Amino acid sequence: MPVRTAESSGFCFGVKHAVETAHRMLADRDDKVNSDNLVMLGELIHNEIVLKELTEGGFVICNSASEVPEGSVVLVRAHGVPPSEMRILEEKGCSVVDCTCPFVSKIHKIVAKAASEGKNIIVTGGKGHPEVLGICGYAEGYDVKVAVIGSVGELEEVPFAPESSILVSQTTFSAEEFNKICAIIKNKIANNCIFDTICSTTENRQKEAAKLASDSDVMLVIGSAASSNTTKLLGICKSRCVRTYLISDVCDAERIVAEGLVHPGDKVGITAGASTPEAIILEVVHTMDENDKKTNQDQEQTDVSFAEALESFVSVKRNTVVKGEITSADADFVYVDVHDKSEGKIPRKEFAQMPDFDLEAALANHEEISVHVKSIKNSDQGKDILLSILMVESEKNKKIVEEAFNNKTPIDVTITKVVKDGIIGVIGGIEVYIHRSQICLGQPEELESYVGQTMTIRVTKFDTDKHRLRISGSHKALDADARKAKADAIWSDIEVGKTYKGIVRSLPNFGAFIDIGGVDGLCHNTDLSWQRISKPSDVLSIGQEVEVTVKSFDPETKKISLVYKKEEDDPFYMIEERIPVGSIVKGKVVRLTDFGAFVELEPGVDALCHVSQISSGKLDKPSDVLSVGQEVVAKVTKIQTEDGQTQKTKISISIKEVQPIDPETPDEEIEYSEADAHSETPDAEPAVEEAPVEAAPAEDKPEE
């Protein structure tokens, strides 16, 4: 029962990106970087196992934007959503993490452009599929029609003339069916209006599945019945291989084997939909491989003759470690004399995984090595003895790793590949799984960036149960130990007013968490800048190195409040020396109220000129003589600071004492009669009653 797997199986780029993003969001919330509601707008992936994992981790699934609570952090799946849904999220003040697949976004742009030009839209795909609903949504608001068809037969039901239309496709639609539709419609629609938007990964997946199914006795399609691309794969395979089965996980595969649906000698093909995690695919492949091995072993045991059984009673036995001398090599194998009737052979590729082993020197010197006997097969030409040097090295390194686990000593591993939710590190052929949450403190980089690097880890799990070695490691644990030591040092001598250099780790809406060396302190927005800011990213960025001062701390709760803004940056710093009482200043009117005018003397420094201190006479309101933006000259009359808090400093000024601004008096025409002229006595001046100066109201008006 040979088992073959289609190369293009499992997560496509868009789904993989969306799932990895979802796990990062959960990790961020676990690290208290984000305490908001995590909402998944529609099912992120058509796979019950992945969805269960994400919802148990903290995600809530909402089927429409109208169901999403205000202020939530919303993950938009790879299928995309209509613009109307995005607008609702924006109105609700939600933070949107858009994981729409780039291939889907391209379709959105094509449809939006065509709709704006008045062209009708034909979409090949599944009616009601989330991706199709999102595509159709980009034609909303335009005077155009949209039709969704799933086959050639439905083309005749399109309620408008194709000549005025464009044709696009759901990314996971059958390439075979799409080509049939294009063959009919190409004479009615211009070539530049037919867009083959089927994802290349989907097309390759379907072609590989078709080819594999044509040459298989049994075909297993791994995925969910709710997944569009999986059901299309199922149909393609069934049309070429009658014994095609849809399975969701390894349990289904074991059931199919147990029910006898797979026969000895059957060629088994395996493919998977875009929503199927790699781990599930590997489990199914492993199960079918094990079944194949068991079948072969049973067959071999049946064929063994009594004479061959006698031959097995020699010094070299299967699953033993023996010593032998390297004698020769060819392109595929290295041959070893194990002191039996026949030489044993080691696959040459094993030595490629041992860079420190000098094979050429070993061949020249006929070096003695220890090898593991993997199998012994008898033939007319003698024995075929398959050996392994890696398995011996693996056992040695397994003991090294086990000792490291027992003694909690660090080891160095080389990162070789990325797997589900983590990376694999290798030491001497032993694989160690490192979950993404154990790579570092905080959020790790893109996992691919670690491949090829050497990482120091602590072995956190060494499990040999069920004849399968499971080893896990953590680099984060070592970081945590180092961080704890630094934290202890910080808490031992921390004091208010002490200055530290730190790194900005995260920027929630209310402030910045800054690592001052093993301890995170919070710098509230009000302590970031003397100016009013809307968000901390206006001042700082993640990863930035800053200098902060301890404002307060609590050893019991392990909380530290920090200050980033500097005293010398305070607009009111040493204000009485820079603008002393009695000094003449220039400024610009920035705001007018009924009780006075606020004048900006310096950036961030406003002074109040009371209405009684503007003009030499009485004013009803400052706007009678002043306007916003007008420059004035005034005298500083008072500077008052409350409780030593510079931000509560009040400065009073007087325009009147320097250059009063009086309202203009309109010229009046006065008629004089001759009698009036004779009656005037120029030498006699009438007594003028001096108008009393109105007392300036107390400056207790509210200031903004």
pLDDT value at residue 35: 47
With a pLDDT cut of 70, the percent of the chain lying above it is 87
Same domain, 408 and 364: no
Same domain, 193 and 226: no
Residue 685 domain-assigned (yes or no): no
* Mean pLDDT computed over 136-141: 94
Nearest CA among 567, 621, 560, 554 for reference residue 593: 621
Q: How many CB atoms lie within 10 A of CB 556?
A: 5
pLDDT digits (tens, 9 = 90+) for 16-33: 888 888 888 887 775 544
pLDDT value at residue 311: 47
Cα angle 276, 281, 284; round to 5: 135
Q: Is the pLDDT of residue 221 over 70?
A: yes
DSSP for 292-337 reads HHHHHHHHHHHH--HHHHHHT-SS--TT-EEEEEEEEE-SSEEEEE
* Cβ density class 536-552: b for 16+ within 10 Å, e for less: beebbebeeebebbbbe
Of the candidates 170, 198, 226, which is a domain's last residue?
A: 198
Same domain, 414 and 375: no
Residue 228 domain-assigned (yes or no): yes
| Residue 158 near residue 215, CB atoms below 8 Å | no
Residue 371 domain-assigned (yes or no): yes
Distance (Å, rounded) from C-alpha 596 to C-alpha 601? 15
Amino acid at 38: L
pLDDT digits (tens, 9 = 90+) for 523-548: 999 889 888 888 999 989 998 999 99
More confident call, 291 vs 496: 496
pLDDT value at residue 203: 79
Q: Is the pLDDT of residue 322 over 60?
A: yes
Q: Is the pLDDT of residue 259 over 50?
A: yes
Q: Is the pLDDT of residue 14 over 70?
A: yes
Of the candidates 166, 198, 230, which is a domain's last residue?
A: 198
What is the chain's mean pLDDT, rounded? 83
pLDDT value at residue 630: 93
pLDDT value at residue 224: 85
Residue 615 domain-assigned (yes or no): yes
* Mean pLDDT computed over 135-147: 94
| Residue 547 near residue 514, CB atoms below 8 Å | no
Distance (Å, rounded) from C-alpha 24 to C-alpha 214? 40
**Active-site annotation, residues:** 131
Q: Which helix (H) or strand (E) holds 376?
A: strand 368-379
Q: Is the pLDDT of residue 333 over 70?
A: yes
Listed in sequence order, the residues at least 6 apart from 156 whose beta carbon sits closer than 8 Å to its beta carbon are none
Listed in sequence order, the residues at least 6 apart from 160 whose beta carbon sits closer than 8 Å to its beta carbon are 120, 145, 147
> Which of 37-46, 372-381, 542-551, 666-675 has the weakest average pLDDT?
666-675
| pLDDT-derived band at 681, boundaries 50, 70, 90 | very low
Same domain, 283 and 253: yes
Distance (Å, rounded) from C-alpha 194 to C-alpha 190? 7
pLDDT value at residue 703: 43
Distance (Å, rounded) from C-alpha 196 to C-alpha 162? 16
Q: Is the pLDDT of residue 249 over 80?
A: yes
Of the candidates 183, 198, 213, which is a domain's last residue?
A: 198
Q: How many CB atoms lie within 10 A of CB 589?
A: 20
More confident call, 62 vs 469: 62
Distance (Å, rounded) from C-alpha 314 to C-alpha 295? 26
Residue 217 domain-assigned (yes or no): yes
> Which of 8-17, 232-241, 605-614, 669-678 has the weakest average pLDDT?
669-678
Same domain, 382 and 397: no
Q: Is the pLDDT of residue 669 over 70?
A: no
Same domain, 193 and 209: no
Distance from the Cα of residue 409 to its chain's centroid:
33
Same domain, 549 and 635: no
Residue 581 domain-assigned (yes or no): yes
pLDDT digits (tens, 9 = 90+) for 68-100: 998 899 999 889 999 999 999 999 999 999 999
Q: Is the pLDDT of residue 409 over 70?
A: yes
Same domain, 445 and 467: yes
Longest Cα pair distance anywhere in the chain, in angstroms? Answer: 161
Question: CA dihedral defined by 551, 556, 557, 558, rounded to 10 degrees?
Answer: 60
> Which of 56-70, 286-300, 571-585, 637-651 has the weakest average pLDDT?
286-300
Distance (Å, rounded) from C-alpha 321 to C-alpha 394? 12
The pair of three-digit structure tokens given for residue 401, joined into one six-digit string? 């790793």
Nearest CA among 364, 356, 328, 362 for reference residue 343: 328
Long-range (24+ apart) CB contacts under 8 A made by 158-161 are 158/122, 160/120, 161/188
Residue 7 domain-assigned (yes or no): no
Same domain, 399 and 378: no
| Residue 436 near residue 444, CB atoms below 8 Å | yes
Same domain, 426 and 508: no
pLDDT value at residue 15: 83
Domain at 255, CATH number:
3.40.1010.20
Q: Is the pLDDT of residue 194 over 80?
A: yes
The total domain count for the chain is 6
3-state secondary structure 404-464: HHHHCCCEEEEEEEEECCEEEEEECCEEEEEEHHHCCCCCCCCHHHHCCCEEEEEEEEEEC
pLDDT value at residue 307: 44
pLDDT value at residue 297: 56
Helix 175-185 vs helix 200-214: angle between axes, to the nearest 10 degrees?
110
Task: State phi, psi for 10 to the nearest 5 degrees.
Answer: 90, -160
| pLDDT-derived band at 380, boundaries 50, 70, 90 | low
**Domain range for residue 544?**
494-569
Same domain, 376 and 429: no
| pLDDT-derived band at 691, boundaries 50, 70, 90 | very low
Q: Is the pLDDT of residue 237 over 80?
A: yes
Long-range (24+ apart) CB contacts under 8 A made by 531-537 are 531/604, 535/507, 535/509, 536/507, 536/508, 536/509, 536/510, 536/511, 536/512, 537/507
| pLDDT-derived band at 558, boundaries 50, 70, 90 | confident
| pLDDT-derived band at 653, boundaries 50, 70, 90 | very high
Domain at 427, CATH number:
2.40.50.140
Distance (Å, rounded) from C-alpha 29 to C-alpha 426? 30
pTM value surpassing 0.85? no
Is the CA virtual torsion 240, 241, 246, 249 positive or negative?
negative
Same domain, 560 and 595: no
Residue 51 domain-assigned (yes or no): no
Domain at 335, CATH number:
2.40.50
Name the strands in the sheet holding 95-98, side by side, starting at the edge strand that comes first in the sequence.
60-62, 38-41, 73-76, 95-98
